């Protein structure tokens, strides 16, 4: 599908300058730069400028910029959507979509729902990113004579597997850890235990994190992996955690399994020393399957002076044409369902079991949609640091977090 500026309205091309804000590593940014260049070739009257900011300071940078200058298109992630929505800097896109006959049912419902509030959609999804992939080193499993994990395994089987594939030296030192994960907050274990963070994801009124016994069960499981079973490390001890999120430990063979999302696939495809694949995150103690997710898309600034031009760019960056080019990198799972279920995504390249991501979308969970979620997440993360270091029990940490969370109630979007 070839895009032309204002093609949906039949208008003649108009001159416009579009400023796009984004983040990402070099490879992801190169894909975006190439797509922007393609868009400008199709629409020579439109000049698009890309401005990038580090992910850790992205929301802060965009919000500060928005106060003093005009921007047009924002790259938005499911977990910083609340920052922009709460500050009302996103333009509702329903009227644009209707005029362009964009069918929202083409997208995965869960990720579209995340970008929708009070029956208004503010971001067109680009990708979804279930945090459910357990990468595993086939050579390590073969060496330990352990069967490759199956997608229907549970927590007990996961622990048993990690113990068997962990490798120690003659003096007892660990040469290869059974498992490494890339999140400080153990949301995968919390959600698969049935745990919660707030009473309602869309309109939270109170935090349930420190009161929900199922949440405690998920935190306890992460604690046990570190201190009881000793098959993994505390986040502070994982080599490269702040830079590569621990992925290098899997890539260089010092961890037999690694929990993350699809984004590390391009890096892992460079591995020469062993074969690898992925399995689904194990089911929780009640047989439930749930996990956190990433995902992203593009929105329009409410203060943009070129909203129609910005919409045309958003449509192009989330189109099938753009998805085809993006999928070649292996970076992400398309938010367009038919593209994710195509041979372009299921390309028979590593990981060969990538098809599990098609089913995984139905099990994703999102963090609460409120203006102070990032602040509260930081409070929770800080409150659990001593747990991972073995200096405090999960129950004691929850007891301390209870009054802290009470003093920071969810900041809902003003009417």
pLDDT at 28: 74
pLDDT at residue 382 tops 80: yes
DSSP state of 395: H
169-190 pLDDT per residue, tens: 999 999 999 999 999 999 999 9
329-338 pLDDT per residue, tens: 777 899 999 9
Closest CA to 337 of 360, 369, 308: 360
Q: How far apart are CA 143 and CA 390, in angstroms?
A: 31
pLDDT at 51: 94
Tokens standing for residue 319:
């189109």
DSSP state of 11: P
Question: How many Cβ atoms are within 10 Å of 309's Cβ, its own excluded?
Answer: 26
6-45 pLDDT per residue, tens: 444 444 447 899 999 999 777 778 889 999 999 999 999 9
Question: How many Cβ atoms are within 10 Å of 389's Cβ, its own excluded?
Answer: 14
**Is residue 298 within 8 Å of 74, Cβ to Cβ?**
yes
227-244 pLDDT per residue, tens: 999 999 999 999 889 888
pLDDT at residue 406 tops 90: yes
Tokens standing for residue 175:
């040469």
Q: How far apart are CA 297 and CA 128, in angstroms?
A: 9
Q: What is the DSSP string of 117-172?
A: ETTEE--EEEEEEES-EEEEEHHHHHHTT-PPP-TT-BHHHHHHHHHHH-EE-TTS
Closest CA to 129 of 381, 374, 297, 352: 297
pLDDT at 68: 86
pLDDT at residue 252 tops 50: yes
- Please name each of the domains of the chain with its CATH number: 16-129+295-352 (3.40.190.10), 133-292+367-406 (3.40.190.10)
């Amino acid at each position: 599908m070839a895009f032309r500026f204002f093609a949906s309205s039949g208008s003649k091309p108009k001159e416009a300058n579009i400023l796009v804000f984004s983040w990402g590593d070099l490879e992801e940014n190169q894909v975006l730069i190439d797509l922007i260049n393609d868009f400008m070739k199709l629409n020579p009257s439109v000049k698009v400028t890309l401005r990038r900011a580090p992910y850790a300071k992205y929301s802060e940078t965009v919000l500060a910029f928005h106060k003093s200058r005009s921007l047009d298109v924002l790259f938005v992630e499911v977990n910083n959507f609340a920052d922009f929505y709460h500050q009302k800097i996103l333009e509702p896109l329903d009227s644009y979509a209707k005029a362009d006959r964009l069918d929202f049912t083409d997208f995965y419902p869960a990720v579209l729902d995340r970008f929708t509030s009070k029956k208004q959609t503010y971001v067109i999804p680009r990708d979804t990113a279930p945090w459910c992939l357990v990468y595993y080193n086939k050579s390590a499993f073969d060496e330990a004579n352990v069967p490759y994990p199956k997608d229907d395994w549970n927590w007990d089987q996961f622990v048993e597997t990690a113990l068997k594939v962990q490798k120690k030296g003659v003096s007892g030192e660990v040469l290869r850890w059974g498992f490494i994960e890339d999140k400080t907050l153990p949301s995968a274990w919390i959600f698969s235990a049935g745990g919660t963070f707030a009473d309602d994801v869309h309109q939270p009124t109170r935090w349930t994190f420190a009161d929900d016994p199922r949440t405690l069960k998920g935190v306890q499981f992460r604690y046990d992996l570190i201190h009881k079973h000793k098959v993994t490390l505390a986040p502070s001890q994982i080599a490269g955690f702040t830079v590569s999120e621990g992925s290098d430990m899997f890539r260089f063979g010092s961890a037999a399994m690694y929990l993350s999302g699809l984004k590390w696939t391009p890096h892992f495809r460079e591995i020469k020393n062993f074969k690898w694949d992925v399995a689904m995150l194990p089911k929780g103690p009640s047989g439930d399957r749930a996990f956190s997710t990433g995902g992203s898309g593009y929105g329009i600034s409410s203060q943009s002076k070129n909203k129609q031009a910005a919409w045309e760019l958003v449509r192009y960056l989330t189109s099938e044409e753009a998805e085809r080019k993006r999928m070649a990198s292996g970076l992400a799972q398309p938010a367009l369902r038919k593209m994710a279920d195509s041979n372009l995504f299921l390309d028979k390249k590593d990981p060969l079991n990538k098809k599990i991501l098609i089913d995984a979308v139905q099990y994703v969970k999102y963090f609460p949609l409120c203006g102070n979620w990032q602040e509260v997440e930081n409070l929770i993360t800080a409150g659990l640091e001593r747990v991972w270091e073995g200096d405090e029990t999960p129950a004691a940490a929850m007891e301390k977090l209870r009054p802290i969370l009470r003093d920071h109630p969810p900041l809902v979007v003003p009417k």
